[in-house]
Structure 1
Amino acid sequence: METLEGMKRTHHCGDIRKTEVGQEVIVCGWVSRRRDHGGLIFVDLRDRSGYVQVVYDEAAMNEGTFHKAESLRSEFVIGVRGKVRARSEETVNPKMETGDIEIVCTELRILNKAKTPPFYIQDGIDVDEKVRLKYRYLDLRRPEMQKNIMLRHRVAKVMRDYFDRNGFLEIETPMLCKSTPEGARDFLVPSRVNPGQFYALPQSPQIFKQILQVAGFEKYFQIVRCFRDEDLRADRQPEFTQLDIEMSFISQEDILTMMEGMIKELFQKSIGVDVPTPFERMDWDTAMDKYGSDKPDLRFDMPLMDISEYVKGSEFKVFNAVIESGGMVKCIKVDGYADIPRRRLDDLVKFVQIYGAKGLAWIQYSEEGIKSPFKKFYSDETFAKIAEATGAKTGDLLLVVADKRLVVDTALGQLRLEMGKERGLIDPDALRFLWVVDFPMYEWSDEEKRWKAMHHPFTAPRDEDIEYLLSDPGRVKANAYDMVLNGVEIGGGSLRIYNAELQEKVFESLGLTPEQAHQKFGFMMDAFQYGTPPHGGLAFGLDRLVMIMAKCDSIRDVIAFPKNQSARDVMSEAPSEVDEKQLRELSIRVSAPKKKDKNENKDN
């Protein structure tokens, strides 16, 4: 193979413009496309900046150079010396940033050849994600993937600049920590020098960033890798990146205002979008009651509406039993969908059952009159009152769920999103930011039969609710807040507990004895004895935020080397087995059955 000795690159492919016409340039990159027109060969050359067309003219170059050009194939790595010239008007390519110029080659060096790739290195390919992840180094060559990774770089740069300008310090916290399995499962790391003992990879730097406030640093941030051993989906990975922030001597309003400023600058400088501030605020109870979600998508209307008072006291046992037991009957209105096919209604019944609802009812205000599975139990006057209360008119559809409040809100909230997508109500270019505030301090775990922290056990309860921590935990609201964008939680945090006695009381409310609390969080509780300032903060999911900014459907498209849905890296084949020597050094014995050697005789 040839080298670039004596041939120093002068320009990136996508940066050359008409101002360079007549100049000699040297460019390097990958052959994206080659077109042979007899004595003329055209090559689209690609690097991370974009494309440029290179022309090989047999009549204007020596035979050896043109012969090399004839040998070029897709993904060959080459260096080109040549002169920039303007394209004729009829050959200008408006789809390329460099479409009004081309480079006439005078020297070609083939730096490396390439096998035929398993898929085209271009945008919009229809290729199984397994193949893309296996050949990730090729997938990352595609322009749309390179744009995503470069956007991620810009996002991180703007974040660092913003917090530096506002007096924050970027401080690294440990990757090898103590296991405190109060939330998701920890990834454990065995210690060779401390046999039988384990570190945990951090799910969050939460404790350390609070201790940094005890230490007096006042304003901390970090773009940090975190780890959670949990089930995966499109917006989750076992290792992920978050922007972590903590501040002292501030109020909740100070934090929300500071973060709105960061988001405004981030979107403006990263993707050129102006985000209006301040953001809308909505308390958790309102979000759940009106939208059935603590991360409502406000890009379209369609609120949940309570119609219990209109349907109670009838002969329809389903509604009566629910209301008498303390439940409720709520609905959503889908404009212009009274003609919904019956088959689709049957599908929606199954849909809400996924979220715990026992069934789904409906009212169709059609041209032929009212259609409903419970029509015979109610008068026309009742249906008219429901129409007036919900704003339903002829042609509209009401979808109705009756159950416990949480089941109704959750099922209808998900159904609302389904209808929003199905009816084309969601503007994909809209950006609707929202702060959801005043979260419950606790949520009940049916599995563990105890109260668990909805966020984490260091969240401060509202002052007026402290008296209920032990007597009525379900009543307690927290000084907690989430930032929501288009129905996705992109960040969340809280004011923290900074009083040791209150922290011990919260641990007690979670069912932790003083001994258990000290075993898990002793070093933090000890630190709180030495003058802890009022503090609070939050963390943003960087992967999720960039995914939305890049208009991708999966965070795997904005992470250079992600894991698949089985938490595997199919490119490097991790995780993998390790040899017995390594296990002995770590004092570990593996009890999981080993896979049989594929060459082993099955009859042995």
Structure 2
Amino acid sequence: MNTSNIYRNRTLNNISEGDVGKTLRIAGWVENIRDHGGVSFIDLRDMYGVMQVVMRNTALLEGIGREDCISIEGVIECRDEETYNPKIPTGTIELEAHSVDVLGKVYKQLPFEVMSSKETREDLRLKYRYLDLRNKKVKDNIIFRSEVISFLRQKMTDMGFLEIQTPILCASSPEGARDYIVPSRKYKGKFYALPQAPQQYKQLLMVSGFDRYFQIAPCFRDEDARADRSPGEFYQLDFEMSFATQEDVFRAGEEVLTAAFKKFAPEGYSVTEAPYPVISYRQAMLEFGTDKPDLRNPLRIIDLSDFFQKCTFKPFHNKTVRAVRVHAEMSKGFHEKLLQFATSIGMGGLGYLEVNGDMTYKGPIDKFIPDEIKRELSGLAGLEPGDTIFFIADKEERAALLAGQIRTELGTRLDICEKNAYRFCFVNDFPMFEYDTAEKKINFTHNPFSMPQGGLEALNTKDPLEILAYQYDIVCNGIELSSGAVRNHSLDIMIKAFEIAGYSQEDLRNKFGALYQAFQFGAPPHAGMAPGVDRMIMLLKNEENIREVIPFPMNGNAQDLMCGAPAEITEAQLREVHIKIR
């Protein structure tokens, strides 16, 4: 209780039936007005709750409108029992108003109804986000976000990690996405960049002798938006460990994520217990058709490429053939809708077989499978009476992608995915390098600072496209929550890895000078990862769009509709940083 505050001496969550008869001052926003002739009612809302205010002196209501910010003094009294409101904690009491002060007036028509703002179109919500945030559901997401971040901080501290902030203005470096660049006033023609991640700094902290670091790190990437990715900026739980292996990072990641999801998951949800399943990248692409497998879906993809080379079905010859087996009743209409989906994602068709009770098949490609090897197909695919098996054929990479989409669609249409669950896994053993067909050269697949499996010997003796990296992701319900790696801490390995990707030692010295120098002064082995905070909260709140859990998000076109960014700046500002617009 604050007796000296001129606006209020109680917040609405701190008023109860025990205060009946007391004179109190409360403050907030007018959520609703009900004029019953000789008596009027206001629903007053502050951050903590809602309370009914009764005005028997109706003159007090004069000039007051919805969403006005007001302060009211009056006496707490019991409501008549027939007017109780069980939906709110203060539903058995009300405040009889004796005086009203208007603190902040609404001068123009509201752009939307605050209490139904989530049904308003998104551009309007984002333009007036401060009104949208008055909506209890929207506000609760942001309060929930604060609670999760507070928990993560405490948990990491309890696990022996030290929170350290790393710079926001840094040097541009090729880390995969586009940098946001900041021109320098003092150094003509030179630029800072906003960090895509604290990657180099956290590695330098390990070289500095800090054993376990973490931060809730802001990251900036000039990328297009998706439902699970906010354009411009996002936050991650960034952590790094010295003298650590991949398995050490797995254990730390499991501990913090399992604890967070168990604490904040909706009631009745189950969470994967540690240790999480570990799936290699190659296995993930085969069995799930994606490196972000959703383990709630029980369906698995199998490879039947070799089998179909023995058949006479020409569309499957010299192709990668993937198949998905389903045990479910399916109507002719179901097959037609699935075929429509297949053609919508670029497939020429969708072959299938149905398994009869006597283990014979029926379906459009049955006649192309020789009788003597039909039993072999049954064994390879584990077929049983009542099964349907769908076939996808294309070049290997595309066949995997299409099969993954068919698997997901089947899981959704048949409603066979596990409900009320958070299913985690690690995906590891990513390729270190890939061939860039556009640039006609070998590039890093993901993080260039990862340790190649096999070290320097592998870099010197193996085909670069066969080298795996100690890289790993954490995936939850089909969403990539985190990426990480065992870092390369050896200068010789670093020089060779970058050489394979087309960087000279001079390039390395210029672009990654700090790491290049630091690795010459006794760098320890180190490893880490960085689960995305925004995605974590989106999952925990079951929101479809990540913007629902960010206080002031940009729209899908990377615009701040509320403050008008990006915006033009003056010629004087441009001159100050030596910039001319072309």
Q: 1:101 to 1:399 in 2, by over 3 A?
A: farther
1:422-451 Cα offsets, whole Å, 9 max, x none, are 333334521111122222222332222233
Find the aligned partners of 1:109 and 1:38 in 2 and give their Cα distance: 22
Find the aligned partners of 1:89 and 1:427 in 2 and give their Cα distance: 44
Q: 1:44 to 1:14 in 2, by over 3 A?
A: farther
Find the aligned partners of 2:327 and 2:510 in 1 and give their Cα distance: 53
Q: Which amino acid aligns with 1:349?
A: A
Q: Which amino acid aligns with 1:238?
A: G
Secondary structure of the corresponding residue to residue 51 of structure 1: strand
Shift of 1:512: 1.0
Asked if 1:265 corresponds to 2:264, the answer is: no
Shift of 1:297: 0.6
Question: Once structures 1 and 2 are overlaid, which stretch shifts more, 378-387 or 186-195?
Answer: 378-387
Partner of 2:35: 36
2:409 to 402, 418, 430: 418
Asked if 1:526 corresponds to 2:517, the answer is: yes
Q: 1:334 to 1:344 in 2, by over 3 A?
A: farther
2:444 to 453, 456, 459: 453
Partner of 1:319: 316
1:284-308 Cα offsets, whole Å, 9 max, x none, are 2222211111111111201112233
Asked if 1:555 corresponds to 2:555, the answer is: no
Asked if 1:219 corresponds to 2:228, the answer is: no
Q: 1:387 to 1:50 in 2, by over 3 A?
A: farther
Q: Which amino acid aligns with 1:166?
A: M
Count of aligned pairs: 574
1:223 and 1:243 in contact (8 A); partners too: yes
1:81 to 70, 73, 80: 73
Q: 1:253 to 1:590 in 2, by over 3 A?
A: same
Shift of 1:359: 4.5
1:229 to 205, 210, 222: 222
1:111 to 103, 118, 123: 103
Asked if 1:308 corresponds to 2:305, the answer is: yes
Secondary structure of the corresponding residue to residue 83 of structure 1: strand
2:172 to 179, 183, 190: 179
1:30-88 Cα offsets, whole Å, 9 max, x none, are 111122222232222212222222222x2xxxx4xx21225432211112233334444
Asked if 1:149 corresponds to 2:146, the answer is: no
Question: Once structures 1 and 2 are overlaid, which stretch shifts more, 464-473 or 239-248?
Answer: 464-473
Q: Which amino acid aligns with 2:309?
A: K
1:268-299 Cα offsets, whole Å, 9 max, x none, are 44457674333222222222211111111111
Find the aligned partners of 1:481 and 1:246 in 2 and give their Cα distance: 14
Shift of 1:567: 0.9
Q: Which amino acid aligns with 1:13?
A: L
2:297 and 2:408 in contact (8 A); partners too: no
Secondary structure of the corresponding residue to residue 243 of structure 1: strand
Question: Once structures 1 and 2 are overlaid, which stretch shifts more, 66-75 or 373-382?
Answer: 373-382
Q: Which amino acid aligns with 1:167?
A: G
Question: How does the TM-score come out when normalised to structure 1?
Answer: 0.88
Q: 1:8 to 1:112 in 2, by over 3 A?
A: closer
Secondary structure of the corresponding residue to residue 265 of structure 1: helix
Q: 1:149 to 1:469 in 2, by over 3 A?
A: farther
Shift of 1:204: 0.9
Q: 1:188 to 1:358 in 2, by over 3 A?
A: farther
1:338 and 1:366 in contact (8 A); partners too: no
Partner of 2:237: 243
Asked if 1:288 corresponds to 2:274, the answer is: no
Q: 1:431 to 1:271 in 2, by over 3 A?
A: closer
Q: 1:52 to 1:415 in 2, by over 3 A?
A: farther
2:322 and 2:400 in contact (8 A); partners too: no
Partner of 1:572: 563
1:441-493 Cα offsets, whole Å, 9 max, x none, are 22332222233223311111223784246631222222222111111111121
Q: 1:419 to 1:341 in 2, by over 3 A?
A: closer
Partner of 2:203: 210
1:332 and 1:412 in contact (8 A); partners too: no
Q: Which amino acid aligns with 2:279?
A: M
Asked if 1:170 corresponds to 2:160, the answer is: no
Identity %: 39
1:543 to 518, 534, 557: 534
Question: Once structures 1 and 2 are overlaid, which stretch shifts more, 30-39 or 19-28?
Answer: 19-28
1:28 and 1:80 in contact (8 A); partners too: yes
Gaps of 5+ in 2: none
Q: How does 1:61-72 map to 2 (within 5 A)?
A: 63=57, 66-72=58-64
Q: 1:15 to 1:342 in 2, by over 3 A?
A: same
2:495 to 504, 512, 519: 504
Q: 1:388 to 1:90 in 2, by over 3 A?
A: farther
Secondary structure of the corresponding residue to residue 364 of structure 2: coil
Gaps of 5+ in 1: 592-604
Find the aligned partners of 1:103 and 1:95 in 2 and give their Cα distance: 17
2:299 and 2:407 in contact (8 A); partners too: yes
Q: How does 1:4-19 map to 2 (within 5 A)?
A: 7-19=6-18
Secondary structure of the corresponding residue to residue 114 of structure 2: coil
Q: Tell me the C-alpha RMSD between the 2 structures.
A: 2.7
Asked if 1:298 corresponds to 2:295, the answer is: yes
Partner of 2:351: 361
1:339 and 1:366 in contact (8 A); partners too: no
Q: 1:321 to 1:583 in 2, by over 3 A?
A: same
1:252 and 1:495 in contact (8 A); partners too: yes
Q: Which amino acid aligns with 1:72?
A: I
Question: How does the TM-score come out when normalised to structure 2?
Answer: 0.91
Asked if 1:479 corresponds to 2:470, the answer is: yes
Shift of 1:393: 5.5
Find the aligned partners of 1:421 and 1:173 in 2 and give their Cα distance: 43
Partner of 1:601: none
Find the aligned partners of 1:87 and 1:331 in 2 and give their Cα distance: 62
1:364 and 1:397 in contact (8 A); partners too: yes
Partner of 1:100: 92
2:295 and 2:478 in contact (8 A); partners too: yes
Find the aligned partners of 2:473 and 2:20 in 1 and give their Cα distance: 53
Question: Once structures 1 and 2 are overlaid, which stretch shifts more, 252-261 or 102-111?
Answer: 102-111
1:483 and 1:490 in contact (8 A); partners too: yes
Question: Once structures 1 and 2 are overlaid, which stretch shifts more, 477-486 or 271-280?
Answer: 271-280
Q: Which amino acid aligns with 1:337?
A: M
Find the aligned partners of 2:93 and 2:460 in 1 and give their Cα distance: 71
Partner of 2:25: 26
Find the aligned partners of 1:394 and 1:83 in 2 and give their Cα distance: 74
Q: Which amino acid aligns with 2:494?
A: Q
Find the aligned partners of 2:303 and 2:328 in 1 and give their Cα distance: 17
Partner of 1:602: none
Shift of 1:523: 2.0
1:493 and 1:538 in contact (8 A); partners too: yes
1:200-246 Cα offsets, whole Å, 9 max, x none, are 11111101110111111111111121111122212222111112111
Secondary structure of the corresponding residue to residue 512 of structure 2: helix
Secondary structure of the corresponding residue to residue 122 of structure 1: helix
Q: 1:371 to 1:338 in 2, by over 3 A?
A: farther
Find the aligned partners of 2:381 and 2:127 in 1 and give their Cα distance: 52
Secondary structure of the corresponding residue to residue 199 of structure 1: strand
Asked if 1:431 corresponds to 2:425, the answer is: no
Partner of 2:432: 441
2:308 and 2:321 in contact (8 A); partners too: no
2:175 and 2:196 in contact (8 A); partners too: no
